[in-house]
């Protein structure tokens, strides 16, 4: 029968993939309370959810403080996967719970934090090594290994380790820039005089900013902390220490003359400053690119590839390259998370013999005005 048939084309608008970049994981020590049993992973989006589990300030003061400071920075609605281990758990015994939480979140966690309550664990008898918790080195290695393993499984993430029991002696701190743990950072400093660190506040700030943004960006605004301490001492009594601590590759708290409030010193990881992913912001950017690239290319797995004289068809190479560039540009470049992206596929590949498609993806990141040098002086227009 005569008529007009119209078929709707799909996939022509270049729709972008959306990634949840602020999903956080937190593993800290605590005790069973209400409906919560230690060792159980949970997802919450507000302090009301935490209270709904029966976890209170009186029953779990250490965990409650960290989670509250997370939401003070991140705001209600931020996704936080958390797990409390026994309050006697050391860093070594907490590490096996990291995969438990990550697997529960099914790859959604983009960054996480690990910290124990040294006062509860060691009952005031904690010994330090390199000025912080004796177990920090093993925790660094363990977290780097876990993060690398999950990144290989297309679930990349970064971790923050609480630099607990800081003894106040900067000279005793190890130089983290001599290490190679670019997926892990160590935080020193708290909102109260304590043996802990403001882990929740740092994670909350990470959750509230886009992937390319440093947590130390002054324009973002001061932290929600009313006070800041390095170990037992108020930050104001140690004006030179923040810069010295930061120079050794740690994240700490700092202030600026004539600017109110407290800020993070930077976003360094335990790696060389020449490492491409030394900064958490650079790491978060490349993690997002990895997720977008994987989501694009996984659709091409075992698809047929047309060849010309045994080599890749040039048109095919251009089509696939444009597809991934568009995906990243429309998701990241347009939002100023990166400066540009280039995807190259060399057509001179013998895919008939290898069944392997080699792709080169290059990202130009944004830069940072970390140090601003100003030449200041008078001018006499009459001269």
Query: Do the Cβ atoms of 321 and 300 come closer than 8 Å?
Result: no
In sequence order, which ranges of 278-334 are alpha helices (DSSP H)? 280-297, 314-331
Please indicate, yes or no, whether residues 279 and 311 belong to a single structural domain of this protein.
no
pLDDT confidence of residue 231: 95
What is the CA angle 143-209-201, rounded to 5? 60
- The verdict on residue 97 lying in a domain is yes
> If pLDDT is split at 50, 70 and 90, which confidence band does 17 have?
low
- Tell whether the model's pLDDT for residue 9 goes beyond 60: no
| Mean pLDDT to the nearest integer, 348-368 | 90
Q: Which segments within 165-281 are labelled E, that is strand?
A: 180-181, 184-187, 229-230, 233-234, 253-256, 259-264, 270-271
- The verdict on residue 3 lying in a domain is no
Q: Which helix (H) or strand (E) holds 362?
A: strand 360-364
Residue with the larger pLDDT of the pair 383 and 115: 115
Q: For the ranges 23-32, 62-71, 295-304, 331-340, which has the lowest average pLDDT?
A: 295-304
Please indicate, yes or no, whether residues 211 and 314 belong to a single structural domain of this protein.
no
Q: For the ranges 40-49, 54-63, 88-97, 356-365, which has the lowest average pLDDT?
A: 356-365
How many other C-beta atoms lie within 10 A of the C-beta of residue 108?
17
As a whole number of angstroms, the distance between CA 32 and CA 34 comes to 7
pLDDT confidence of residue 371: 66
Please indicate, yes or no, whether residues 261 and 335 belong to a single structural domain of this protein.
no
As a whole number of angstroms, the distance between CA 158 and CA 182 comes to 8
Please indicate, yes or no, whether residues 263 and 337 belong to a single structural domain of this protein.
no
* pLDDT, tens digit (0-9, with 9 covering 90-100), for 20-65: 899 999 999 999 999 999 999 999 999 999 999 999 999 999 999 9
As a whole number of angstroms, the distance between CA 216 and CA 267 comes to 7
> If pLDDT is split at 50, 70 and 90, which confidence band does 13 have?
very low
Please indicate, yes or no, whether residues 254 and 381 belong to a single structural domain of this protein.
no
Q: Which segments within 123-213 are labelled E, that is strand?
A: 128-129, 132-133, 158-162, 180-181, 184-187
Query: Do the Cβ atoms of 362 and 341 come closer than 8 Å?
Result: yes
Residue with the larger pLDDT of the pair 16 and 266: 266
Tell which residue, 119, 137, 127, has the closest CA to residue 179. 137
Please indicate, yes or no, whether residues 180 and 261 belong to a single structural domain of this protein.
yes
As a whole number of angstroms, the distance between CA 340 and CA 263 comes to 29
Please indicate, yes or no, whether residues 238 and 309 belong to a single structural domain of this protein.
no
Q: Using DSSP, state whether 301 is helix, strand or coil.
A: coil
Place of tokens 């995807």: 343
Domain boundary (283, 317, 340) is at: 283
pLDDT confidence of residue 16: 54
- The verdict on residue 367 lying in a domain is yes
Please indicate, yes or no, whether residues 311 and 279 belong to a single structural domain of this protein.
no
- Tell whether the model's pLDDT for residue 18 goes beyond 70: no
> Mean pLDDT of all residues in the chain?
92
Please indicate, yes or no, whether residues 275 and 311 belong to a single structural domain of this protein.
no
Task: Supply the angle between the helices 314-331 and 280-297 in degrees, to the nearest 10.
Answer: 130
- Tell whether the model's pLDDT for residue 8 goes beyond 50: no
pLDDT confidence of residue 302: 80
- Tell whether the model's pLDDT for residue 372 goes beyond 90: no
Q: Which whole-number Å values give the CA distances from 175 to 161, 235, 247, 306, in the listed order?
A: 15, 21, 8, 53
| Mean pLDDT to the nearest integer, 77-105 | 97
Based on the structure, what is the number of domains in the chain? 2
pLDDT confidence of residue 376: 72
Place of tokens 């060399």: 346
> If pLDDT is split at 50, 70 and 90, which confidence band does 300 have?
confident
- Tell whether the model's pLDDT for residue 229 goes beyond 80: yes
Give the structural domain span for 346: 302-383
Residue with the larger pLDDT of the pair 15 and 84: 84
- The verdict on residue 162 lying in a domain is yes
Tell which residue, 324, 380, 333, 66, has the closest CA to residue 199. 66
Please indicate, yes or no, whether residues 219 and 356 belong to a single structural domain of this protein.
no
Domain boundary (283, 313, 347) is at: 283
**DSSP structure string for 72-140:** HHH-TT--EEEEEEETT--HHHHTTHHHHHHHHHTT---EEEEE--HHHHHTT---EETTEETTHHHHH
Q: What are the phi and psi torsion angles at 59 (to 5°)? A: -80, -35
Burial class of 352 by CB neighbour count within 10 A (0 to 12, 13 to 18, 19+): exposed
pLDDT confidence of residue 381: 83
- The verdict on residue 90 lying in a domain is yes
- Tell whether the model's pLDDT for residue 128 goes beyond 90: no
Place of tokens 């070594």: 92
Please indicate, yes or no, whether residues 253 and 315 belong to a single structural domain of this protein.
no
**Partners of 129 in the beta sheet?**
132
* pLDDT, tens digit (0-9, with 9 covering 90-100), for 263-275: 999 999 999 999 9
> If pLDDT is split at 50, 70 and 90, which confidence band does 167 have?
very high
Query: Do the Cβ atoms of 334 and 20 come closer than 8 Å?
Result: no
- The verdict on residue 15 lying in a domain is no
- The verdict on residue 294 lying in a domain is no
- Tell whether the model's pLDDT for residue 374 goes beyond 80: no
Please indicate, yes or no, whether residues 232 and 317 belong to a single structural domain of this protein.
no
As a whole number of angstroms, the distance between CA 24 and CA 218 comes to 22
* pLDDT, tens digit (0-9, with 9 covering 90-100), for 243-259: 999 999 999 999 999 99
- The verdict on residue 6 lying in a domain is no
């Amino acid at each position: 029968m005569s008529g007009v048939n119209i078929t709707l084309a799909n996939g022509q608008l270049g729709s972008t993939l959306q990634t949840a970049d602020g999903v956080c994981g937190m593993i800290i020590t605590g005790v069973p309370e209400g409906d919560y049993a230690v060792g159980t992973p949970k997802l919450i989006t507000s302090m009301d959810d935490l209270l709904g589990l029966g976890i209170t300030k009186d029953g779990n003061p250490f965990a409650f403080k960290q989670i509250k400071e997370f939401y003070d920075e991140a705001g209600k609605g931020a996704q936080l996967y958390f797990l409390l281990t026994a309050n006697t758990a050391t860093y070594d015994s907490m590490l096996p719970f990291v995969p438990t939480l990550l697997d529960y979140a099914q790859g959604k966690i983009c960054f996480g934090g690990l910290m124990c309550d040294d006062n509860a664990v060691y009952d005031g008898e904690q010994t330090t090594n390199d000025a912080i918790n004796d177990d920090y080195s093993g925790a660094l290695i363990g977290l780097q290994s876990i993060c690398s393993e999950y990144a290989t499984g297309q679930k990349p993430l970064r971790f923050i380790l609480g630099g607990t029991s800081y003894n106040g002696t900067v000279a005793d701190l190890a130089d983290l820039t001599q290490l190679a743990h670019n997926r892990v950072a160590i935080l020193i400093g708290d909102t109260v005089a304590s043996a802990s660190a403001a882990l929740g506040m740092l994670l909350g700030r990470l959750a509230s900013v886009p992937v390319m943004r440093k947590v130390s960006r002054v324009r973002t605004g001061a932290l929600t902390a009313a006070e800041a301490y390095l170990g037992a001492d108020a930050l104001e009594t140690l004006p030179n220490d923040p810069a010295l601590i930061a120079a050794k590759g740690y994240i700490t708290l700092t202030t600026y003359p004539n600017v109110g409030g407290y800020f993070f010193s930077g976003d360094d990881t335990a790696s060389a400053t020449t490492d491409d992913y030394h900064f958490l912001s650079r790491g978060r950017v490349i993690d997002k690119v990895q997720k977008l690239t994987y989501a694009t290319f996984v659709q091409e797995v075992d698809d047929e590839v047309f060849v010309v004289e045994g080599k890749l068809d040039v048109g095919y190479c251009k089509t696939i390259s444009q597809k991934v560039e568009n995906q990243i540009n429309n998701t990241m470049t347009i939002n100023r998370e990166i400066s540009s992206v280039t995807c190259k596929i060399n057509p001179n590949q013998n895919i008939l013999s290898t069944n392997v498609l080699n792709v080169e993806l290059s990202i130009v990141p944004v830069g940072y005005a970390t140090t601003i040098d100003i030449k200041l002086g008078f001018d006499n227009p009459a001269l």
